[in-house]
Chains A and B, each alone.
Chain A
Amino acid sequence: MEKKLVKTVFVTVGTTQFDDLIQTICSTSVTEELNKLGYTDLILQIGNGKDPERVDEQNLNIKFYRFKNSIEEDISNASLVISHAGAGSILDVLGAGKPLLVAINENLMDNHQIEVAQRFSNEGFLYYCKPSQLVETLQDVNFDALKPYEPGKPEKFAKVLDRIMGFTQPDS
Chain B
Amino acid sequence: MDSNLEKSYFSPIYYLVPTFTLLYVAYRWFQGPSQTTKFTEVRTKPASIVSVIGSGGHTREMLRLMGALSGNYSPRHYILANTDSISESKVHAMEDDLRRKKNFKTEYLIHKIPRCREVNQSWFTTVAYTIYSIFYCIPLMVICRPEIILCNGPGTCIPVCLVGWIIKCFGIVQTKIIYVESICRVDKLSMTARLVYKFADNIIVQWPELQSKYPKCEYYGRLV
A contact set with B: CB distance below 8 Å: 15, 86-88, 91, 112-113, 115-116, 118-119, 150-158, 160-162, 164-170
Contacts and interface: CB of A to CB of B under 8 A. Distances in A.
A170 B43 CA distance: 12
A88 B56 contact: yes
Contact of A152 (B73, B201, B218, B224): B224
A91 B182 CA distance: 12
A73 B92 CA distance: 22
B68 A157 contact: yes
The 7 closest A-B pairs by CB, nearest first: A154-B68, A166-B39, A152-B222, A115-B186, A166-B43, A152-B224, A158-B68
Nearest to B183: A87
A69 to B, nearest CB: 10
B186 A116 contact: yes
B22 interface: no
A166 B37 contact: yes
B70 A152 contact: no
A154 B43 contact: no
Interface residues of B, number: 43
B183 A116 contact: yes
Contacts of A169: 39, 42
A57 B73 CA distance: 55
Contacts of B68: 154-155, 157-158
B28 interface: no
B219 to A, nearest CB: 10
Given A112-B185, A113-B184, A115-B186, A88 B224 contact: no
Contact of B223 (A118, A154, A166): A154
Contacts of B69: 158, 161
28 contacts: A15-B56, A88-B56, A91-B60, A91-B183, A91-B224, A112-B186, A112-B188, A115-B184, A151-B222, A152-B222, A153-B221, A154-B65, A154-B67, A154-B223, A156-B223, A157-B204, A161-B73, A164-B36, A164-B176, A164-B178, A164-B201, A165-B148, A165-B176, A166-B42, A167-B44, A167-B47, A169-B42, A170-B39
Contacts of B182: 87
Nearest to A156: B220
B187 interface: yes
A160 B37 contact: no
Contacts of A150: 222
Contacts of B220: 156-157, 160
Contacts of B218: 160
B57 interface: yes
Contact of B148 (A87, A158, A161): A161
B64 interface: yes
Contacts of B199: none
B70 A156 contact: no
